[in-house]
Amino acid sequence: MPRIVLIGAGSVVFTKNLLGDILSSPALRSADIALHDIDPDRLATAERIARWTATALDATPMISTHLDRREALRGADFVVNTIQVGGARATQVDFDVPARFGLRYTIADTVGVGGVFRGLRTIPVVLGIARDMEEICPDAFLLNYTNPLAILVRAVSEATAIRVVGLCHSVFWTVDRLAEYLGLQRDEVDAASAGVNHHAFILSLEHRGRDLYPDLRAFVDAGRTPDDDLVRAQLFQRLGFYPTESSEHHAEYNPWYIGKSDAAGDAVERFHVPIGEYLDRVAHNLDEYAETKRMLEAGEPFEIERSGEYAATIAEAMTTGAPARIVVNAMNGGALIPNLEADACVEVPGLVDGLGVHPVAMGPLPLHLAAYIRGAVDMQGLTVRAALDRDRDAIGHAVMTDPIVQSHLTLDDAWRLTEAMIGAEAEWLPSWLGGAAAG
């Protein structure tokens, strides 16, 4: 039975869902589950939800909890990373400091100023995990869910020998949404996607061999898109391929919405761009954690549904040898998507078999889609360079790639913003940046 280690297990809802998937699998129902968190209260809650889930599913895992990370890693086959460095407070800074320069964001966890600094504060911690793995469980797979995902996979791949893949459900839920738009059953819809995480596009969309794009175009052109997906719908109209992730994310991935207006009015209003959305989610997560604790104490039941997280799919396929198809983030090598950088971390379909995860070579992206994506890839590369080479200038160069910064700031202000962020996030930044954290 494989040993599956959850780093950041205190994200209890994710832990519940992931264990729901794992323990529903006949091949994994007796798996060895090791939970790690640095917060004892959250770790205790994670253990309770884990044991509740096992009982509810009639599964017989071995469950252990560890405040010591290295102890958790001992004998690991799979290490699932879901940590958040800096938590709610750091996220608040990611929004507040840019706001002083007049910049508004929706999510701020992937690219842009927020993505750069989430990267800078998270890279050293994740490298610490990977280096522990090199010592303790060098053959284990690191399955990373933490954002900024592409940056972290790239940093681990470049700086350590640990096998790592980045996992994200954004493609899964995009296809789900499109099936819903067209009134189709999700599992009858086949989709192929390629790009980088949160910046991929659906390249093919079929229902039993029939191309669905004409129907989808008719749906969008008829104005039937829900308000919360208008940004992606417009990008689809102009680019010809549907973007993955979500409209709230894409609103800050390009220069076309935030701070823009035309004869039809202000784009933020018209496209229902939810400025500050991620701050609401952070608050909601805290509430949800409190509610989960309350329910556990009250002995109230939870709902368990297979969530389709790929960590369970990978563990199952590698254990049984039965092939599975996932979406995976892995180093490009110039091979998976030849017209993106060789050292980019790209998102493509992947085959899982008994030997591991094998990303699929997808060929070049249509040129205009590549053009939409390149800024994100450069931002990722420059953030990794900054962190690994301790290159302060590269932070400014990464901030220069932010389309919101580009649309609204001068070059001097972009630099002032960079320095202001370094100061405001010192608590979580490494010492070479004058920060108080390790690394």
Measured distance CA(18)–CA(61) in Å, rounded: 13
Residue 264 DSSP class: T
Closest approach, Cβ 186 to its own copies, in A, equals: 11
Residues 366-385 that bind its own copies (CB under 8 A): 367-368, 370-371, 374-375, 378, 381-382, 385
Among 363, 419, 431, 432, binds its own copies (CB under 8 A): 363
- Expressed in angstroms, the distance from the first to the final Cα of the chain is 35
Q: Report the residue number, 141 or 428, with the smaller CB distance to its own copies.
A: 141
What tokens does 388 get? 């690994």
The one segment of 153-161, 219-227, 412-420, 422-430 that binds its own copies by CB under 8 A: 412-420
Applying CB under 8 A, does 20 fall inside the site for its own copies?
A: no
Measured distance CA(438)–CA(144) in Å, rounded: 21
The one segment of 31-39, 145-153, 243-251, 320-328 that binds its own copies by CB under 8 A: 320-328
Among 339, 388, 420, 426, binds its own copies (CB under 8 A): 339
How far does Cα 116 stand from its chain's mean position? 14
Applying CB under 8 A, does 308 fall inside the site for its own copies?
A: no
Closest approach, Cβ 221 to its own copies, in A, equals: 14
Applying CB under 8 A, does 423 fall inside the site for its own copies?
A: no
The neighbouring-strand residues paired with 331 are 345
Binding mask 26-65 for its own copies (x = CB under 8 A): ----------------------------------------
Q: Report the residue number, 263 or 298, with the smaller CB distance to its own copies.
A: 263
Which amino acid, residue 358?
H
Kindly tell me the burial class for residue 173, based on how many C-beta atoms sit within 10 Å of its own C-beta (0-12, 13-18, 19 or more): middle
Measured distance CA(42)–CA(16) in Å, rounded: 13
**Position of tokens 């958790």?**
72
Applying CB under 8 A, does 213 fall inside the site for its own copies?
A: no
Q: Report the residue number, 3 or 177, with the smaller CB distance to its own copies.
A: 3
Closest approach, Cβ 200 to its own copies, in A, equals: 15
**Position of tokens 């320095």?**
419
The one segment of 152-160, 161-169, 202-210, 291-299 that binds its own copies by CB under 8 A: 202-210
The one segment of 9-17, 114-122, 398-406, 426-434 that binds its own copies by CB under 8 A: 398-406
Catalytic residue among 36, 169, 199, 408: 169
The one segment of 81-89, 91-99, 141-149, 397-405 that binds its own copies by CB under 8 A: 397-405
What tokens does 40 get? 């004892």
Q: How many residues bind its own copies (CB under 8 A)?
A: 75
Applying CB under 8 A, does 334 fall inside the site for its own copies?
A: yes
Q: Report the residue number, 139 or 303, with the smaller CB distance to its own copies.
A: 139
The one segment of 11-19, 142-150, 175-183, 360-368 that binds its own copies by CB under 8 A: 360-368
Measured distance CA(243)–CA(408) in Å, rounded: 25
The neighbouring-strand residues paired with 34 are 5, 64
State phi, psi for 199 to the nearest 5 degrees: -125, 30
Q: Report the residue number, 87 or 356, with the smaller CB distance to its own copies.
A: 356
Rg (CA), the chain: 21
Residues 255-274 that bind its own copies (CB under 8 A): 255-257, 260-264, 267
Q: Cβ distance 439 to 125 under 8 Å?
A: yes
Among 58, 222, 238, 287, binds its own copies (CB under 8 A): 238
What tokens does 240 get? 């010809």
- Specify whether 397 is catalytic: no
Q: Report the residue number, 107 or 357, with the smaller CB distance to its own copies.
A: 357
What tokens does 141 get? 């797979």
Measured distance CA(59)–CA(197) in Å, rounded: 33
What tokens does 165 get? 């893949």
Applying CB under 8 A, does 388 fall inside the site for its own copies?
A: no
CA neighbor of 383 nearest in space, from 168, 93, 96, 118: 118
Residues 157-196 that bind its own copies (CB under 8 A): 187-188, 190-192
Measured distance CA(405)–CA(114) in Å, rounded: 11
Kindly tell me the burial class for residue 208, based on how many C-beta atoms sit within 10 Å of its own C-beta (0-12, 13-18, 19 or more): exposed
> Any idea which residues carry the catalytic annotation?
169
